[in-house]
Amino acid sequence: MHDTCVGVVIWLLGLLVPLLLMANVSRIFFMLMENSTLFDVRTLFLNRVLFGTKTAPELLIDSSTSDNFINLLKMDDGIEKDTFIRKISVDFLLLLNEIERINLINIISTNEAYNQFLFVIYMITNKDKKQTEDSVKIKIDKDLMEYKNNGIITVTVLAYFRVMIDRLTLFDFKKPGMIKKSEYMKISTQLLSNNMEKYFLEN
């Protein structure tokens, strides 16, 4: 009888341990799915702009945004705002390691809308009459590779983060200075979709 009870306990333990492990793995998986942006460079940047940290706080109800972001929302377009955005972007880009730089450039390279935007801007601002469509594309690719391979921050890369911040500051937060979990998930999902046709994040 004793041996039978011991056998049953061992059997139950053998069954429960894998189940507990599966439950934990599933819990972690769904947490990562909900926060799938956690390992994305763009989300690291989003968190730094919104909260001043790499990771988002536990957004149970409302969370305060950083003083820097509150100040950013109050700024009018102009030199002060441009300088502020540039500093945030440059400071962040300097911190990325090689793998993160590679991931970022791969994201930018596959964003057709952004690359078309870059092409138009470059054609307008560069007055070299000898430039062709191919030469502009080569220049853009070269700029992206400079950062990817050597960590040299170019206007082509900086402009991507400028667009991200512009979209973020246009978002209609329910409470300025606060962000709800639903707002954070909507913003992060839109930014990670790489779909700039839906420029306004609340849509």
Measured CA to CA, the distance from residue 203 to residue 187 in angstroms comes to: 10
**Spatial contact of 203 and 195, defined as CB atoms under 8 Å apart:** no
**CA 167 to chain CA centroid, nearest Å:** 12
Residue-wise pLDDT tens digits, 17-66:
443 333 343 333 333 333 433 458 999 999 999 999 888 877 767 889 99
Residue-wise pLDDT tens digits, 67-84:
999 999 999 989 999 999
Measured CA to CA, the distance from residue 141 to residue 73 in angstroms comes to: 32
Neighbours of 111 (CB within 10 A): 17
Quote the pLDDT of residue 63: 87
Measured CA to CA, the distance from residue 52 to residue 36 in angstroms comes to: 20
Measured CA to CA, the distance from residue 135 to residue 123 in angstroms comes to: 10
